[in-house]
Amino acid sequence: MISEKVNKIPPSGIRKFFDLLLEMEDVISLGVGEPDFVTPWRIREACIYALEEGYTSYTSNWGIYELRERISKVYLRDQSIFYSPEDEILVTTGASEAIDLAIRALIDPGDEVLIVEPSYVSYRPCVILSHGLPIPIPTREENEFRVLPEDIEERITEKTKMLILNYPNNPTGATMRKKDLEEIADVVVEHDLLVLSDEIYSKLTYVGKHATFSSLEGMKERTIVVDGFSKSHAMTGWRIGFALGPSNIIKAMMKIHQYTMLCAPITAQMAALEALNSDGDMKGMINEYNRRRRIMVSGLRKIGLSCFEPKGAFYTFPSIKETGLSSQEFAERLLKEKGVAVIPGDVFGESGEGYVRCSYAVSREKIKLALERMEDFVNSL
CA distance 299 to 282: 26
CA distance 132 to 203: 31
CATH architecture of the domain with range 41-277: 3-Layer(aba) Sandwich (3.40)
CA distance 267 to 50: 7
- pLDDT at 121 exceeding the cut of 90: yes
- Closest listed residue to residue 148, CA positions, set 192, 180, 170: 180
Question: Residues spanned by CATH 3.40.640.10 within the chain?
Answer: 41-277
> Residue 355 forms beta bridges with which residues?
319
User: What's residue 256's pLDDT?
Assistant: 98
Question: Residues spanned by CATH 3.90.1150.10 within the chain?
Answer: 4-39+281-380
- Using pLDDT thresholds of 50, 70 and 90, give the confidence band for residue 26: confident
| Average pLDDT value for the chain | 95
- pLDDT at 16 exceeding the cut of 90: no
User: Which helix or strand (DSSP H or E) is residue 267 part of?
Assistant: helix 266-277
CA distance 28 to 335: 9
Among the residue ranges 7-16, 83-92, 209-218, 358-367, the one predicted with the least confidence is 7-16
Q: What is the pTM of this model?
A: 0.95
Residues 274, 229 contacting (CB under 8 angstroms): no
CA distance 326 to 304: 17
User: Which helix or strand (DSSP H or E) is residue 341 part of?
Assistant: strand 340-341
Quickly name the fold that domain 4-39+281-380 has. Aspartate Aminotransferase, domain 1 (3.90.1150)
Q: Which long-range contacts (CB under 8 A, 24 or more apart) does 78-82 make?
A: 79/211, 79/212, 79/215, 80/215, 81/212, 81/214, 81/215, 81/220
At 158, the amino acid letter reads: E
pLDDT in tens, 199-210: 999 999 999 999
User: Which helix or strand (DSSP H or E) is residue 181 part of?
Assistant: helix 178-190
* Three-class DSSP labels, 83-98: CCCCCCEEEECHHHHH
- Using pLDDT thresholds of 50, 70 and 90, give the confidence band for residue 8: confident
CA distance 148 to 181: 9
At 28, the amino acid letter reads: I
User: What's residue 32's pLDDT?
Assistant: 80
pLDDT in tens, 156-174: 999 999 999 999 999 999 9
Question: Is the peptide bond preceding residue 310 cis, with omega within 30 degrees of 0?
Answer: no
